[in-house]
Amino acid sequence: MGDFDLNSNFIPALHKPSALLPIAKHHDSLLYLIEKNPITIVVGQTGSGKTTQIPQFLENAGWCSDGKTIAVTQPRRVAATTVAVRVAEEYGCEVGKEVGYSIRFEDVTSAVTRIKFLTDGLLIREALVDPLLSRYSVIMVDEAHERSISTDILLGLLKKIRKRRPELRIIISSATLQAEDFLNFFSDESDKQESSDGEKNEIGSIVSLEGRMYPVDTLYLETPADDYVEKAISTVFDIHTQEPEGDILVFLTGREEIDTAVQAVVERSAQLPSECQAILALPLYAGLSTEQQMSVFDSPPENTRKVIFSTNIAEASVTIDGIVYVIDSGFVKLRAFDPTTGIESLTATPVSKAAALQRAGRAGRTKPGKCFRLYTEDAFIELPDANIPEIQRSNLAPFILQLKALGIDNVVRFDYLTPPPAELMAKATELLFSLGALDEYAKLTKPLGMRMAELAVEPMMAKTLLSAPSFNCVNEILTIAAMTSLGGSIWIQREGEKKSMESRRRRFSVEEGDHLTLLNTYQSFLKNGRKDPSLFCYVNYINFKAMTRAVSIRAQLKRYLERFGITVDESHEGSTAGKSEQIRRCLTTGYFAHAARMQPDGSFLSIDGGTTLHAHPSSLMFNRRADWVIFHEVMETGNKIFIRDISKIEKGWLLEYGAGYYEVKT
Ligand code: CDP
Ligand code: MG
């Protein structure tokens, strides 16, 4: 063949040309409708190009010409970042230049940014400083079918903003067919526009993108699986050894399951017969770094089958090419808030029919595929048609605080796509009142309530931060707030080093609990890790990236406090000695509602006596004695309820700082 090497002479196209995406055919009509109507609803299957192409169409068509920006919101941080990276690549710029993203504690945009991906929660937050969101010419609310609580609230706000900004263009994109609901929501009688010939025009229109889909064979289990993680892993190997080429996408519910599964595939693949293709297992969930998240999009090495274990991120928000097989556990982790106990949990819940169909559809994008459902057909028939919108099962406190701060005093009459239940409203108002954010007329207090709304942490932590000056521990609470905002463990497990990890970890433990342990770890990191921070982390089994993030989050929270005129004196950094009680008292001012008491058997009982809670294995309190404690968060897994980030307190403090709350109770 001479020296003509096919592989080195041809390089594969970086991307499928965007002209081939289903959306390309709608380029002109979309731009026309967006120009003409304030509201455009775009419905199209995942992968049709809605998220990546529409903002580029708009930018090209001049929607940024007067210095304005196009906002595209996502319910998930992962989606906002990965999509921004992708669009920047297509656009030909660095992320943060013309195309950027902004998520809580991470703003990767600049003065030249024209297309900005952000979480819907962050856009609500932006309305606090710019109530009409005037820097945006177009706001695209993406993945609206998911009905995340932030999406719902944002749609309500946009409906109000629209009346003051008729030139604003709103695009709502959805992967399922609830388009009418969205349009009806925006089309109040009073909104119908009078056109020149006197005819009434609707304010918006619906565009359906026909996406090509190959048939997907759906297979069910004959009998229910005892353990869907184990079943998922064995199904991966069945596919790998029996089915033709094609990558596998597995839907599990969360990080722990996903890490277990990835690990199991790595271990068991060593036993594959030598003639078998290699298998590459990759995780996809929200706690991963952006680079790790991006690696699921890379094509696997030659002769290797890729298997991605994902949360429902991969259901609609991101599209991974090359998937031919889908394994659906049938579960998704959903937030649920119990207004009687006040406990918010993240529980693995059966998916809806709509979600199961959407998951199966991921297998038929490039050729005919197969979907293996790890449940029986009868179980499928029993599934609800759609999930209950998040707004009907969430702790509303953060949102009510935001709405009040936006000047929407009557939160009951706010225009919701689906109104939240009265008990949830009442519970949230009660908590905000007892935290001092609302007065007895349910009006936002100033400055406390207003500042709590502005701080980018949940209300209980916001209150704790704002109490810190009076306990003389601003420095310490800032660190604790940053460390608990990381949303994941700072400890790293290394294979076969469990013992040594535990003994290293013990060196950072502080008797009084997890909050002080986190503080101690952070301070050691700064002090002892000064010379070589990543080495310090490696030796101590600490996640270096997480620590770097904590440093950055802390700096951002500090800036908020300074803006409020709270001075942060860092000259005594490190001298926490003797402050333990002040710090725990301060934490109690925010977390009195999250209190529990240890029982003789080592489990905890919630304060109303109704719920048994267990210290999470990652907590210092997992095997130690305590009496009264407060905790940062509560999580339900299986049928056990875990609490994590726990600190010892005294009963009297609860009455001292949470008197209002506990009076209401008794
Ligand atoms: O938003 P929608 O689901 O309609 O589609 P999209 O996210 O805009 O994706 C359009 C195309 O870009 C798909 O074919 C994806 O495979 C591709 N894409 C990708 O390869 N990598 C990404 N990070 C995002 C999209
Ligand atoms: Mg999309």
Locate the domains of the chain by residue range. 13-209, 216-390, 395-444, 455-657
Res 335: pLDDT: 83
**Nearest ligand (C-alpha, residue 49):** 1
Position 200 scores a pLDDT of 44
Closest CA to 57 of 16, 19, 101: 19
Tell me the sheet residues that pair with 280. 306
Specify the pLDDT at position 432.
Answer: 96
Sheet containing strand 106-108, strands side by side: 106-108, 99-103, 115-119, 69-74, 136-141, 169-174, 39-44, 204-209
CB 536 within 8 A of CB 542: yes
Q: Matching CATH topology for 13-209 and 216-390? A: yes
- pLDDT score of 214: 87
Q: Which ligand sits nearest to residue 74's alpha carbon? A: 2
**Letter for the amino acid at 660?**
G
Please give the distance, rounded to the nearest whole angstrom, from the Cα atom of residue 48 to the centre of ligand 2: 8
The ligand 1 atom nearest the CA atom of 82: 23
Residue 17: band (very low, low, confident or very high) from pLDDT cuts 50, 70, 90? low
Q: Are 101 and 118 a contacting pair, CB within 8 Å?
A: yes
Q: How confident is the model at residue 314 (pLDDT cuts 50, 70, 90)?
A: confident
**Nearest atom (ligand 1) to Cα of 23:** 4
For residue 279, the model assigns a pLDDT of: 95
CATH number for 13-209: choose from 3.90.950.20, 3.40.50.300, 1.10.10.60, 3.40.50.2300.
Answer: 3.40.50.300
What does the pLDDT average to over 57-74? 96
For domain 216-390, the question of CATH label 3.40.1350.10 is answered with: no
Element (H, E) at 257: helix 255-269
CA of 68 to the centre of ligand 2 (A): 23
| Region 428-456 average pLDDT | 95
Q: What is the distance in A from the centroid of ligand 2 to the CA of 637?
A: 30
Give 518's Cβ-side CA count (13 Å radius).
30
- φ and ψ at residue 626, rounded to 5 degrees: -155, 175
Ligand nearest the Cα of residue 20 is 1
Closest residue by CA, ligand 1 atom 18: 319
* pLDDT tier at 666, thresholds 50, 70, 90: very low
Cα 503–chain centre separation: 33
User: What pLDDT, on a 0 to 100 scale, did the predictor assign at position 198?
Assistant: 42
CB 325 within 8 A of CB 243: yes
Q: Please name the residues in contact with 248: beta carbons below 8 A apart, sequence gap of 6 or more.
A: 236, 239, 240, 305, 306, 307, 308, 323, 324, 325, 326, 327
C-beta 74 within 6 A of ligand 1: no
Q: From CA 144, how far away is CA 130, in angstroms rounded? A: 23
Distances (CA, A) of 2 to 5, 7, 9: 8, 14, 13
Nearest listed ligand to the Cα of residue 44: 1
pLDDT of residue 323: 93
Q: What is the mean pLDDT of residues 491-512?
A: 88
Where b means 16+ CB within 10 Å and e means fewer, 10-26 reads eeeeeeeeeeebbbeeb
Q: Please check the confidence at residue 10 and state whether its pLDDT lies above 70.
A: no
The whole-angstrom distance between residue 576's C-alpha and the CA centroid of its chain comes to: 33
Q: Whose CA is nearest to atom 13 of ligand 1?
A: 47
Pocket test for ligand 1, best of 319, 358, 362 (most atoms within 8 A of CB): 319
pLDDT of residue 20: 77
* Ligand nearest the Cα atom of residue 323: 1
Which atom from ligand 1 is nearest to the alpha carbon of 211?
4
The more confident residue out of 396 and 195 is 396
**317 touches ligand 1 (CB under 6 Å):** no
Cα of 109 vs centre of ligand 2, distance in Å, is 20
Which of 27, 46, 52, 321 gets mutated to test ligand 1 (max ligand atoms within 8 A of its CB)? 52
Q: Can you tell me the distance from the alpha carbon of 51 to that of 380, in angstroms, rounded to the nearest whole number?
A: 30
CB-ligand 1 contact for 82 (6 Å cutoff): yes
Answer for the pair 236, 230: CB distance below 8 angstroms, yes or no: no
Per-residue model confidence (pLDDT) at position 407: 94
Identify the pLDDT of residue 433. 96
What's the mean pLDDT in 17-26? Answer: 82
* 51 within ligand 1 shell (Cβ under 6 A): yes
Mean of per-residue pLDDT scores for the chain: 90
CB of 81 within 6 A of ligand 1: the answer is: no
